[in-house]
């Protein structure tokens, strides 16, 4: 069923809204996020969970805390959006008319820890995001050896049309942190996003992020101090530079690659777990003060220090780059485990079990 879980909250609607998304497997992550926003950001606006196929008994905790819940129907018939699960398509609901009840909205992915005030993001006009990969990396080009099939030829035509109409060297943006004013939501925004997804999913790599980039092509602003409000370079600075985890600073730490903070081996696990343990103490009738945020002078000094940080050496660079290569191999094996796994286990058992152990190390 689609709709608001606790409608009575509408009478006490706040000016600003903070949202995250979760399915049944991301409930703990959502609790941690709301906890870090409550205790560290002192967020005084509304809180909302976009719930994608979450059982009723798991929603009760959020409703009891006064957190709004939007139950989301799948907006797309299929199992995947590019390389991502169908869950991410529920972000499109942020751009439906009902969200115009608020003036400004901040969306944060569930793989985030918030450490300070988010008030600066409530002053955004339009859509503010952080730059990411160049636009061309958001689309997959069909293999030329497959072009004898009708579907492959259609996909190639689609890819060529995109390349003609969009600058593939233009910097795309991350949809993991989005701050926007709701005046950008038009009556047809949601339907256009859905149509775009249906049309381009065959050449889509980055899921809903690809579709947002198409829709807001050259129509978005940059987050103020993007490194601070969407700091996803954490692993780079730890692995390629001599930056210790305790020296990593930022208001929004975004763990969108290896080293998820809910894994015990993560250097940020204790911080993440502490936030989760405090989630039960959330009381939206009594908002604590925000933790002291970084000043512009602090930020300038900090990132000047990062630029001057000594490189950890050739070996660490190799480890950093090859970790992604290993991860892609493991993904491939996961998708084809029925064939590859059986073959390796039978003919190369030592390699099979070594890869299984590597999977534990690089597990998301």
The average pLDDT across 306-310 equals 55
What number of other Cβ atoms are within 10 A of residue 350's Cβ?
8
* Contact of 109 with 212, CB cutoff 8 Å: no
* Residue 216 confidence (pLDDT): 96
Fold of the domain spanning 3-296: Spore Coat Polysaccharide Biosynthesis Protein SpsA; Chain A (3.90.550)
pLDDT surpasses 60 at 332:
no
* Residue 79 confidence (pLDDT): 72
C-alpha distances out from residue 196 to 82, 215, 228, Å: 13, 8, 31
pLDDT surpasses 50 at 25:
yes
* Contact of 230 with 193, CB cutoff 8 Å: no
pLDDT surpasses 60 at 308:
no
The C-alpha atoms of residue 244 and residue 238 are separated, in whole angstroms, by 6
pLDDT surpasses 90 at 15:
yes
Q: Which helix (H) or strand (E) holds 348?
A: none
pLDDT in tens, 280-290: 999 999 999 99
Q: Which helix (H) or strand (E) holds 222?
A: strand 221-222
pLDDT band, very low/low/confident/very high, at 114 (cuts 50, 70, 90): very high
* Axis crossing angle, helix 189-200 with helix 150-165, rounded to the nearest 10: 130
145: which strand partners? none
Q: Which of helix, strand or coil describes residue 356?
A: helix
pLDDT band, very low/low/confident/very high, at 87 (cuts 50, 70, 90): confident
In three-state form (DSSP H/G/I as H, E/B as E, the rest C), the secondary structure along 279-311 is: HHHCCCCCCCCCCCCCCHHHHHHHHHHHHCCCE
The C-alpha atoms of residue 257 and residue 254 are separated, in whole angstroms, by 9
pLDDT surpasses 60 at 336:
no
Q: With pLDDT > 70 as the criterion, what percentage of the chain qualifies?
A: 74
* Residue 149 confidence (pLDDT): 73
pLDDT band, very low/low/confident/very high, at 312 (cuts 50, 70, 90): very low
* Residue 5 confidence (pLDDT): 58
Domain ranges of the chain: 3-296, 314-362
The average pLDDT across 236-257 equals 83
pLDDT band, very low/low/confident/very high, at 257 (cuts 50, 70, 90): confident
The average pLDDT across 135-143 equals 85
* Residue 14 confidence (pLDDT): 86
* Residue 316 confidence (pLDDT): 43
Q: Which residue has the higher pLDDT, 208 or 294?
A: 208
Q: Which residue has the higher pLDDT, 330 or 283?
A: 283
The C-alpha atoms of residue 103 and residue 100 are separated, in whole angstroms, by 7
Q: What are phi and psi of 240, to 5 degrees?
A: -100, -15
Q: Which residue has the higher pLDDT, 151 or 304?
A: 151
pLDDT band, very low/low/confident/very high, at 318 (cuts 50, 70, 90): very low
């Amino acid at each position: 069923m689609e709709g608001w879980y606790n409608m009575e909250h509408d009478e006490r609607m706040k000016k600003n809204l903070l949202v995250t998304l979760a399915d049944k497997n991301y409930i703990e992550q959502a609790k941690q996020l709301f906890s870090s926003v409550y205790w560290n950001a002192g967020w005084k606006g509304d809180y909302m969970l976009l719930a994608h196929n979450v059982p009723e008994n798991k929603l009760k905790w959020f409703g009891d805390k006064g957190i709004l819940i939007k139950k989301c129907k799948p907006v797309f018939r299929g199992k995947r959006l590019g390389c991502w699960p169908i869950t991410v398509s529920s972000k499109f609901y942020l751009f439906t008319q009902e969200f115009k009840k608020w003036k400004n909205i901040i969306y944060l992915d569930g793989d985030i820890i918030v450490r300070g005030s988010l008030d600066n993001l409530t002053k955004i006009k339009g859509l503010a995001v952080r730059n990411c990969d160049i636009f061309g990396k958001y689309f997959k080009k069909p293999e030329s050896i497959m072009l004898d099939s009708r579907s492959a030829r259609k996909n190639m035509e689609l890819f060529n049309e995109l390349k003609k109409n969009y600058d593939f060297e233009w910097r795309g943006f991350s949809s993991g942190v989005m701050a926007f004013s709701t005046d950008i939501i038009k009556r047809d925004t949601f339907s256009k996003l859905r149509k775009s997804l249906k049309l381009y999913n065959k050449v889509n790599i980055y899921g809903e992020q690809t579709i947002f980039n198409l829709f807001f092509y050259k129509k978005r602003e940059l987050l103020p101090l993007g490194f601070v409000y969407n700091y996803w370079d954490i692993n780079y600075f730890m692995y390629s530079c001599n930056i210790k985890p305790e020296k990593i600073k930022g208001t929004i730490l975004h763990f969108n690659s290896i080293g998820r903070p809910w894994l015990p081996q993560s250097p940020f696990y204790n911080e993440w777990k502490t936030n989760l343990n405090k989630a039960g103490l959330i009381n939206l009738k009594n908002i604590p003060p925000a933790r002291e945020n970084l000043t512009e002078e602090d930020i300038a000094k900090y990132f000047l220090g990062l630029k001057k940080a000594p490189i950890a050496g050739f070996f660490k660079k190799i480890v950093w780059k090859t970790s992604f290569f290993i991860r892609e191999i493991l993904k491939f094996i996961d998708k084809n485990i029925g064939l590859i796994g059986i073959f390796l286990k039978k003919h190369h058992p030592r390699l099979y079990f070594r890869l299984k152990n590597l999977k534990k190390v690089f597990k998301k």
